[in-house]
Amino acid sequence: MASPARKQELLEVAGREVRVSSPDRVVFPDAGLTKLDLVRYYVAVADGALRGVRDRPMVLKRFVKGIDREAFFQKRVSENRPDYVGSATLHYASGTSAEEAVLTDAAGLAWVVNLGCVDLNPHPVRSADVDHPDELRVDLDPMPGVDWRQIVDVAMLAKEVLEEHGLTGWPKTSGSRGMHVYARIEPRHDFHEVRLAAEALAREIADRAPGLATARWWKEERGESVFVDFNQNAKDRTVASAYSVRPLADARVSTPLDWSEVPGSRPEAFTVPTVLERFADRGDPWAGIDDAAGSLDPLLELAERLGPAEKPPRRGDGSGRRASTMPLVEIARAKTKEEALDGLERWKARHAGVVSHLHPADVLVDGMRGSSSLWYRIRVNLQHVPEAERPQQEPLEVDYDPWAGRRPDDP
């Protein structure tokens, strides 16, 4: 007879007592990992995980209904937080603000995981100065149809371009399909300048590797390439940090690497069990990152030489909105990815002759940030479909309004 599930477990972490509620609740069924296993993982790799989040305001991305359900994003930290969890106030472009959690030790890691956080999502600033980032983030995001080898090639090129401009790149797997390359920078520039520098870096990488990498912002224009996502450096954006466990069935981890490891790496090799063993054996490859801050000035000079990025055409209806250069039809706007994909399958069933012309990158699935959670949009690019066979825009298969009854700028 199975033992009854425990209501809580008390752990001593960093000299503090941390309560873990429902410790036996299974978080990763395929990997057999419980909530307590996840807490103990973060405590074991705390030296590395804290290097990515310590003293940084962070959004709490809480999977309270399980990793197979949408998370909700909690920006305002509870007033009832323990005394070892700090806070910092961030101000948004909308004129609103939020007091966000700030972690300083392993007990804080255990506390946020107990709340249902699986991955950690800090801002690229320190709590003492929330207006000047000290981190440049390069997110290498592959389009459908792109294999891992291509991502690796673009990562190695990002290393080269960063070094040429006086910065040290630190690579890690994203824990999903892509890679991240971070660079510590002197906190002298605002978010606008950091994003401008990141965009210049992305454009330079794309210019050196046409067809492999792209800096095109509009997804339908990227083709089967690796998007160097410079917008992760915009204000209010967060990225899953080093040693974050991602909400995938195999409990994959966003894992820091040495550059010598990158060519032979595979993202699926880094999971909670393997990273625990790896960390115990060798420690953190990013141990020196905080001592490697460089100047952003060379990248800003590159941005000046490149000039403004090409702007897309605008609609002629007076709205000022972008006019896509591609023949797009929108399929669904849904609360969940599953609902959106179900809508796509219904559309495909009605347009079987069209589907045979589509390339992998022609189906555009976007996770869109709502007020407190993601919603999903699906569009199809008909560029490879003969013009006479292209279907017209039809009523959406799923028509979800993420802003119904609420303000879109409410944090």
Give the pLDDT of residue 397. Answer: 94
Look at the chain and report how many structural domains it folds into: 1
Higher pLDDT, 37 or 368: 37
Residue 246 lies in a domain: no
Amino acid at 249: A
Q: Name the token pair of 297.
A: 């000035």
Categorize the per-residue pLDDT at 79 as very low, low, confident or very high, splitting at 50, 70 and 90: confident
Residue 302 lies in a domain: no
Residue 364 lies in a domain: yes
- Token pair 């298969």 is at which residue? 397
Residue 392 lies in a domain: yes
What is the tens place of the pLDDT at every residue in 199-228? 999 999 999 999 899 998 888 888 899 999
Mean per-residue pLDDT, 394-400: 93
Give the pLDDT of residue 411. Answer: 37
What is the tens place of the pLDDT at every residue in 280-333? 999 999 999 999 999 999 999 999 999 988 776 665 555 556 667 888 899 999
CA distance linking residue 360 with residue 384, whole number of Å: 11
Q: Is the pLDDT of residue 66 over 70?
A: yes
What is the tens place of the pLDDT at every residue in 12-31? 999 999 999 999 999 999 99
Give the pLDDT of residue 371. Answer: 61
Give the pLDDT of residue 366. Answer: 84
CA distance linking residue 110 with residue 19, whole number of Å: 9
Mean per-residue pLDDT, 63-85: 90
Residue 405 lies in a domain: no
Contact 127, 102 (CB under 8 A): yes
Cβ neighbours around 60 below 10 Å, total: 20
Contact 56, 64 (CB under 8 A): no
Give the pLDDT of residue 410. Answer: 41
What is the tens place of the pLDDT at every residue in 148-195? 999 999 999 999 999 999 999 999 999 999 999 999 999 999 999 999
Categorize the per-residue pLDDT at 3 as very low, low, confident or very high, splitting at 50, 70 and 90: low
Cβ neighbours around 121 below 10 Å, total: 20
138's enclosing H/E stretch is strand 135-142
CA angle 81, 83, 86 (to 5 degrees): 75
Residue 351 lies in a domain: yes
Of 7-21, 62-76, 104-118, 289-303, the least confident: 62-76
* Averaged confidence pLDDT in the chain: 91
Q: Name the token pair of 147.
A: 């294999």
- Parent domain of 373: 328-399
Give the pLDDT of residue 290. Answer: 95
Q: Is the pLDDT of residue 382 over 50?
A: yes
Phi, psi (deg, nearest 5) at residue 338: -60, -45
Give the pLDDT of residue 68. Answer: 87
Residue 163 lies in a domain: no
Q: Which residues of 213-227 are buried (b: 16+ CB within 10 A; e: fewer)?
A: bbbbbebbebbbbbb
35's enclosing H/E stretch is helix 35-44
Residue 408 lies in a domain: no
* Residue spans of alpha helices (H) in 115-189: 148-164
What is the tens place of the pLDDT at every residue in 87-96? 999 988 777 8
Q: Is the pLDDT of residue 408 over 80?
A: no
Categorize the per-residue pLDDT at 257 as very low, low, confident or very high, splitting at 50, 70 and 90: very high
